[in-house]
Amino acid sequence: MREPDNRIKPIVFPSFQRGQEKTTRIKMNRIFNVCMFIICYLLLLSSCDKEPLMGSDEWEQKRRNNFYDYKVKNRDGFDMQSIIPCGYNEDTVFLAGIKNERMWIGMFDEHTKEQLKEWNGTETIERTIKIDLGYGETEFFDVTTFKISPYKTQWGFVSTFSYLHRRAVSWASSDSIPDKGCLFLNGDNMIFLNNLRIAIPCWFQGSVVVSYKKSDNEDYCAILSPIGDLIMELGEGPQGEPISYTEGIFIARESDYFIIRHNYQTGKDVWKTSIPSLKDVEDNARINSTILEQSNSIWKYQFDITNYDGSKKQVIFTVDVETGKVTEI
């Protein structure tokens, strides 16, 4: 005869067990969803890291590699670290850079990004410049690129330029290096001139006035032709409206207003005439002068005067540039 089983058997509630299983599945689904979200988020971050942040060195280099979206026609031979935009006006932009170890300059339409013209240097650029600081001290400046500041002329462009070294996302220049020289962009030619600075980009008959230093460290001026040839040296820097290579006409205020024709080679006035209608002009008045005509020896001037109280006055006169005679109209 079998003895009765006196062990206590657990009571199983089927509905409660199914509830536990359901809860466990929900928790597992949630954990799975959270894990998938984290994985997707990390993958997204990883893909974002491949796109450089705006303003970063990588972002700037990416722009340089694409020539800042300007349509350079021949992209071979460039040092992409050297590409730099040089603003000119709202319609035109210049790019400067080093191509085949020589200076390269391109001109582009700002709106269409199309290349309008390019100039290529003929001399290999000096990449490391040794600077004599005096007192037996020297320093070296590594050249990454150069920047230009172009001026429009009758025949093309003229520009001073300075060397730059790239530091991260910025450019550095050396105070110990003066502007190395100037560039004449005439036709298809880039004419490089050492140790000169542009004083007046547009002088008589398309000439350019430059300044330079001699061994006495004094400033001197000279007039160059559109192809960079020396026309003459001047005793002083010119100003005003040129009437010849050596002479200019300008307005000056001393005790009265005078119109003066001055010779910059001799340092003497050719003539000097007062302008009677400008005698009573207030010291703080704003004056705009315009040359209306200068096709012959009689030049016509207009002065628009605005006083501090808002009152206005207009003066028109002619001057005979040969004799200095002023005739008021």
Domain identity same for 219 and 262: no
At 260, is the pLDDT very low, low, confident or very high (cuts 50, 70, 90)?
very high
What is the domain extent for residue 250? 246-328
CA distance 281 to 306: 9
25 in a structural domain: no
111 in a structural domain: yes
Number of domains in the chain: 2
At 187, is the pLDDT very low, low, confident or very high (cuts 50, 70, 90)?
very high
The pLDDT of 102-109, averaged and rounded, is 96
Domain identity same for 253 and 191: no
> Tokens representing 207?
């000439």
Domain identity same for 218 and 305: no
Query: φ, ψ for residue 319 (rounded to 5)?
Result: -135, 135
Cα-Cα-Cα-Cα torsion 38, 40, 42, 47, nearest 10 degrees, comes to: -170
Domain identity same for 141 and 202: yes
> Domain end: 208, 234, 260, which one?
234
Domain identity same for 89 and 110: yes
pTM of the model: 0.75
pLDDT at 65: 85
pLDDT at 154: 94
303 in a structural domain: yes
Residue 259 burial (C-beta neighbours within 10 Å; 0-12, 13-18, 19+): buried
Give the CA distances from residue 42 to residues 36, 38, 202, in Å, rounded to whole numbers and listed in that order. 10, 6, 61
The pLDDT of 131-152, averaged and rounded, is 90
pLDDT at 13: 44
Q: Evaluate if residue 135 carries a pLDDT over 50.
A: yes
Domain identity same for 310 and 170: no
Sign of the four-CA dihedral 28, 29, 33, 36: positive
- Residue 250 CA to chain centroid, in angstroms? 30
When the pLDDT of each residue in the chain is averaged and rounded to a whole number, the result is 85
Q: Evaluate if residue 106 carries a pLDDT over 90.
A: yes
Write out pLDDT tens, residues 43-93.
Answer: 555 544 455 565 566 767 788 888 999 999 999 999 999 999 998 998 999
175 in a structural domain: yes
pLDDT at 58: 74
CA distance 249 to 299: 10
Q: Evaluate if residue 305 carries a pLDDT over 60.
A: yes
270 in a structural domain: yes
Write out pLDDT tens, residues 5-44.
Answer: 555 455 444 554 555 555 666 666 677 666 666 765 555 5
Domain identity same for 144 and 210: yes
